Amino acid sequence: MTNQVSALNLADILDEHRRRWPNNVAAVDEDGAVRLTYPAFAARVDRLAGALIGAGLGSGDRILWLGQNSFRILELILAAAKLGAIVSPANWRQSPDELDFIVADAAPKLTVWQEKEVGERVRGAQSFRKTGLWLRHDADVSGASEYERFLTAAEPAGELDFVDPALPLVMIYTAAFGGSPNGALITHNAIIGQSLVYGPARQITADYRYLNVGPMFHVATLMETLATFVMGGANVFVPRNDPEEICRIVDAEGINGAFVIGPAMEQLAEANKDRRYNLKTLRALKGSDAWNDMVTVDDSPWGQKPFGFGQTETLGYATYSLLQGAGAMGRSSPVVLARILDEAGSEMPDGEVGEIAVRGQTVSPGYWNRPELNVQRQGQGWHRTTDLGRREADGSISFIGPKGQLIKSAAENIYPAEVEACIRRHPAVKDVGVIGVPDPVWVQHVKAVVVLKPEATATEADIVEHCRAHIASYKKPRIVVFALTIPRAGFAIDYAKLNADHGGGGYPGGG
């Protein structure tokens, strides 16, 4: 526990914003029907904290959000910050069964849910209204909201025990790669540290107006929501991702930032092709000429190169491409340490591939309710990201790919992603998956399944030779076969199927 005079948690920041930025807008929602200055927002948060205490919530208790984007997510996070409680904005697109898993896992004392667009799924869950308190936040046919009644009926919380900023405040369930989702815990310190780095990088100040259009259960949006809050800016919320509606709100609210990338930019450009809306306040990435002409193409270093390596467990970027070097991911954030480790936890030399491990202010102290996974991922004092990277000679970091299933050839460990990255650079190759095949002498040997580009040709020997030229010889495939597709589950290679189709197996640790 840090000395209180020297400490700062997220609730403290709101308490100061009400004084420091009394005239700034904190939150806008429901198409402008909700518009709260920092003092008004802080007053609601005080009352909500009082209501939570009245409902028996305290330090370490979980609050689950089952709804679309709303100012109430930020409000709940700030009220939880006063109590030391934890808020999890869950993916509202999940099935009733998936929701049941989350409810059972998080065991929330309070679940706030939404009827509109989400209610059918929520009400279809076995757990509905069975565990702890459930409050519907959107208005019912009478115009009343359970959540609002809960909040407004309470007295503001009085003086509370000090909450250590090293405690978790937010929990984000990560994608369920190879099993169930896990709730990554995010601390007050992580939010403050990331905001102090990301804020200046993205030029977020107290004048900044951020449109929460991406899902707030994903760090790509949430890290900017929170940085906007920490800097005293305005968060504007929109439940749905509708191009015309977004254009209208950008114009009406003078939005400066939003998670709008790739095809979404062109959808907005199309929706606004008659130039009905003025989008010039929006600092955006470069797109089509029509788009570039419509918005302010971000000329900050951030806008020029919006990269970084990160994940939920680091509340977004752990490296910043702004800190330029030979490696495209740039260098570790000022508040993060990065190491490239082998399986045993020893540091790899520069230029060699290993697992990226991190430590520092923005790093999760672990997963909720996962003691074994926490030992596996963090037992050596570092958080292992399960992603592969390489430290370049200039200190910057290259991302190789997800670690995947380790291949064992005699005493050597081989990461499929490293071999795949090498083969993918061959000009004839469109896609590739690499597996280990049981070997009576060497434990396993490497097999590459290659998809060639249309009209392109390459032989097995070409691919092997290409690998020999670019990676250590023991990593090159012993066998190369050609196929029409690589099986995938979403973006990721479906290794279970690839192994089954091509004789893979014998992996260290089984499988």
Report how many residues bind its own copies under the rule CB under 8 A.
Answer: 55
The CA-based diameter of the chain, rounded to the nearest angstrom, is 75
334 touches its own copies (CB under 8 A): yes
Chain positions 383 to 422 lying near its own copies, rule: CB under 8 A, are: 383, 391, 393-395
Interacting residue with its own copies among 363, 417, 422, 423 (CB under 8 A): 363
Measured CA to CA, the distance from residue 108 to residue 439 in angstroms comes to: 49
User: Which range, of 50-58, 121-129, 267-275, 327-335, touches its own copies by CB under 8 A?
Assistant: 327-335
Draw the binding track, 208-227, toward its own copies (x: CB under 8 A; -: no contact).
--------------------
- Please choose, out of 267-275, 375-383, 452-460, 492-500, the segment that lies near its own copies by the rule CB under 8 A: 375-383
Q: Phi-psi category of 45—alpha, beta or left, where left has phi over 0 and alpha has psi -120 to 50?
A: alpha
Task: List Cβ<8 Å contacts ≥24 apart for 1-5.
Answer: 1/162, 1/164, 2/164, 2/165, 2/166, 4/162
DSSP string, 406-443: PEEETTEEE-HHHHHHHHHTSTTEEEEEEEEEEETTTE
Q: Does 43 bind its own copies (CB under 8 A)?
A: no
b/e 255-266 (16+ beta carbons within 10 angstroms → b):
bbbbbbeeebbe
Binding segment toward its own copies, per CB under 8 A, in 19-27, 92-100, 103-111, 272-280: 19-27
**Which of these segments, 18-26, 62-70, 72-80, 423-431, binds its own copies (CB under 8 A)?**
18-26
Q: Which is nearer to its own copies, 230 or 449 (CB)?
A: 230
Query: Is the separation of the CB atoms in 187 and 166 below 8 Å?
Result: yes
* Residue 197 CB, nearest approach to its own copies (Å): 7
| Residue selected from 34, 160, 220, 337 as contacting its own copies according to rule CB under 8 A | 337
Whether the Cβ atoms of residue 84 and residue 60 lie closer than 8 Å to each other: yes
Distance in angstroms (rounded) separating the CA atoms of residues 109 and 64 = 8
Among 71, 382, 415, 507, the residue binding its own copies under the rule CB under 8 A is: 382
The two three-digit tokens of residue 380, written as one number: 């050596």
Stretch that binds its own copies, among 7-15, 245-253, 437-445, 446-454 (CB under 8 A): 7-15
| 338 touches its own copies (CB under 8 A) | yes
Burial of 238 (0-12, 13-18, 19+ CB in 10 A): buried
Sign of CA dihedral 279, 280, 282, 286: positive
Residue 46 binding its own copies, by CB under 8 A: no
Q: Using CB under 8 A, which of 365, 402, 487, 508 touches its own copies?
A: 365
End-to-end, the C-alpha distance of the chain in Å comes to 44
For residues 151 to 170, the per-residue mask of contacts with its own copies, x marking binding by CB under 8 A and - elsewhere, is ---------------x----
Q: Which is nearer to its own copies, 79 or 322 (CB)?
A: 322
Cα–Cα distance measured from residue 322 to residue 201, given in angstroms and rounded to the nearest whole number: 8
Shortest distance, position 375 Cβ to its own copies, whole Å: 12
Tell me if 359 contacts its own copies by CB under 8 A.
yes
Q: Torsion angle of alpha carbons 266, 270, 276, 280, nearest 10°? A: 10
189 binds its own copies (CB under 8 A): yes
Residue 197 three-state SS: helix
Span of 11-19, 25-33, 95-103, 262-270 interacting with its own copies by CB under 8 A: 11-19
Map the footprint of its own copies across residues 20-39, applying CB under 8 A.
20-23
* Under rule CB under 8 A, residue 190 binds its own copies: yes
With contact defined as beta carbons under 8 Å apart, do 371 and 379 qualify? no
**Of the listed pieces 80-88, 95-103, 117-125, 229-237, which binds its own copies according to CB under 8 A?**
229-237
Alpha-carbon dihedral sign for residues 228, 229, 233, 238: positive
Strands 110-113 and 86-89: unpaired
d(CA 23, CA 39) in angstroms, rounded, equals 8
Q: Nearer to its own copies by C-beta: 185 or 422?
A: 185
Based on CB atoms, which residue is closest to its own copies, 191 or 458? 191
Per CB under 8 A, 271 contacts its own copies: no
Note the residues at the interface with its own copies (CB under 8 A): 2-8, 12-13, 15-16, 19-23, 166, 187, 189-190, 192-193, 195-197, 199-200, 206, 230-232, 323, 331-332, 334-339, 359-361, 363-366, 378, 381-383, 391, 393-395
